[in-house]
Amino acid sequence: MVKKRRAHLVLTEDNRSWIIEKMATRIAEHAPDFGFAISVGETERVDVDINHWMSYAFANVPHNTPATMLVTHLDDPYKIGLVKHELVSGVDVGIALSSHTCDMLADAGVREESLAFIVPGHDSAATPRRVVIGLTTRLYPDGRKRESMLTSLARAMRLDRFRFEIFGQGWENVIPELEAAGAEVSYWPGTDDFRADYVEMMARVPTFDYYLYLGRDEGSLGTLDALAAGVRTIVTPQGFHVDLPGGITHSVWSQQDLEAVFRGIVEDVERRTASVAGLSWTAYAIAHTIIWHAILDGRKKEIAQLLATHRGSGTREIEPINEGPAAMFGRMLSPRRIMSKLGHVPALKPVRGWIKRR
């Protein structure tokens, strides 16, 4: 079995039981696949290849091995000064969570080769809930509420991102179309007690993400209820709707308008989820191993370039490599190997990138 290099994570009692310990735990879980045996303890070790301090606040000590440290929460000049001192008195690289922190330290005079940043990962435990579209509309045999537009919408696109909450009679033929397109539907056709129905409806209106009305018949009183509850609207620009200053969030008149609005809502959700899609804890750990290997192999000045290689597109991870540390590092960091095995890890960004933006 190939002998791994050894990295020790210095995690003091002050940093346990919350985010910093979670980061240490995730590094310890994934770094062994990329050439490092990991240990965790409250003080540094002299029998390892490199010590990584999980907080710069405790790294102001004599160092007996190469060292890196997490740099975060620099909210006063004293802390910035402490980090600057540590980076010239024994700590090889300060690893920030953001380009903003690197900007701050660079402005304070810290050398570029002593800085790197890795955006933290997440557990992919949270997923977006469905967007709630509310309707408080009664249908009529002549189709005056233009409910056929919803049927056409359901046939034109997937509605898996949506939940429709419908109050009012007559929707029995439309609901199966929505569900067939992947939507969830809750339906309250009403009872003989219209006052109780109204109370139930008003309790639900504030939970809508959008209020939808497609009719062209002067306006919907439900639009007033929705706006009173602070709910965004997707309504026709006619009747008293146009007399409600700022009341129309999305104006729809044609079928094309309706489809564009719904596609835009989906794209908006997906744009946000995509912004963190590649931020895995594996990627976070890989970035640390890249930095540690570079320091131990005398390639500290290349760290910015090595991290910059991860720019591109895609979200695949580097696969574990069963080789000795030196051979593994050389192969893992070759541009061809990184691009073929990784494609891109959005958690990694080049130091040079933020230097140029300043």
> Distance between CA atoms of 259 and 152, rounded to whole angstroms?
9
Residue with tokens 């933006």: 357
Report the alpha-carbon distance of residue 116 to residue 352 in Å, rounded.
9
Comparing CA positions, the residue from 280, 354, 316, 302 lying closest to residue 119 is 280
CA dihedral (110, 113, 117, 118) in degrees, to 10, reads -160
Pairwise CA distance, residues 336 & 342, whole Å: 10
Are residues 270 and 137 part of one domain? yes
In a shared domain, residues 157 and 252:
yes
The string over 322-342, giving b where at least 16 C-beta atoms fall within 10 Å of a residue's C-beta and e elsewhere, is eeebeebbeebbeeebbeeeb
For residue 1, what pLDDT is reported?
58
Give the span between the Cα atoms of 45 and 129, in whole angstroms: 46
pLDDT attached to residue 314 = 34
User: Residue 47 is part of which domain span?
Assistant: 5-122+278-357
Q: Is 21 exposed, middle or buried (0-12, 13-18, 19+ CB in 10 A)?
A: middle
> End-to-end CA distance of the chain, in Å?
46
pLDDT at residue number 71: 97
Give the pLDDT score at 340.
35
Q: Mark which of 242, 274, 306 sits at the end of a domain.
A: 274
Q: What per-residue confidence (pLDDT) applies to 3? A: 81
Contact 118, 98 (CB under 8 A): no
Using only the alpha carbons of the chain, give its radius of gyration. 28
What is the reported pLDDT for 355?
A: 40
Among 225, 240, 274, identify where a domain stops. Answer: 274
Residue among 20, 29, 30 nearest 57 (CA)? 20
Query: At a CB cut-off of 8 Å and minimum separation 6, what does 227 contact?
Result: 211, 233, 244, 247
Tokens representing 340?
A: 């073929």
Q: Looking at the structure, tell me whether residues 176 and 141 fall in a common domain.
A: yes
CATH number, domain with residue 76? 3.40.50
Task: Looking at the structure, tell me whether residues 173 and 105 fall in a common domain.
Answer: no
Per-residue pLDDT of the chain (358 residues; tens, 9 = 90+): 568 999 999 999 999 989 999 999 999 999 999 999 999 999 999 999 999 999 999 999 999 999 999 999 999 999 999 999 999 999 999 999 998 999 999 999 999 899 999 999 999 999 999 999 999 999 999 999 999 999 999 999 999 999 999 999 999 999 999 999 999 999 999 999 999 999 999 999 999 999 999 999 999 999 999 999 999 999 999 999 999 999 999 999 999 999 999 999 999 999 999 999 889 999 999 999 999 999 999 999 999 888 777 533 333 344 444 444 444 444 444 433 433 333 333 334 444 444 433 3
In a shared domain, residues 114 and 154: no
Burial 232-247 (b: 16+ CB within 10 A, else e): bbbbbeebebeeeeeb
Contact 261, 234 (CB under 8 A): yes
Q: Is 54 in the same domain as 168?
A: no
Q: What is the CATH number of the domain that holds 163?
A: 3.40.50.2000
Residue 134 has phi, psi (to 5 degrees) of -105, 140
Pair 136, 265 in one domain? yes
Is residue 136 within 8 A of residue 305, CB to CB? The reply is: no
pLDDT in the model for residue 2: 67
Count Cα atoms within 13 angstroms, Cβ side, for 20: 22
- Domain shared by 282 and 189, yes or no: no
Shared domain check, 178 and 238: yes
Residue 313: count of CB within 10 angstroms of its CB: 8
Overall domain count for the chain: 2
- Pick the last residue of a domain from 224, 258, 274: 274
Q: Are residues 140 and 267 both part of a single domain?
A: yes
- Report the distance separating Cα 232 and Cα 227, nearest Å: 7
Whether residue 161 is found in the same domain as residue 30: no
Say yes or no: 287 and 206 in one domain: no
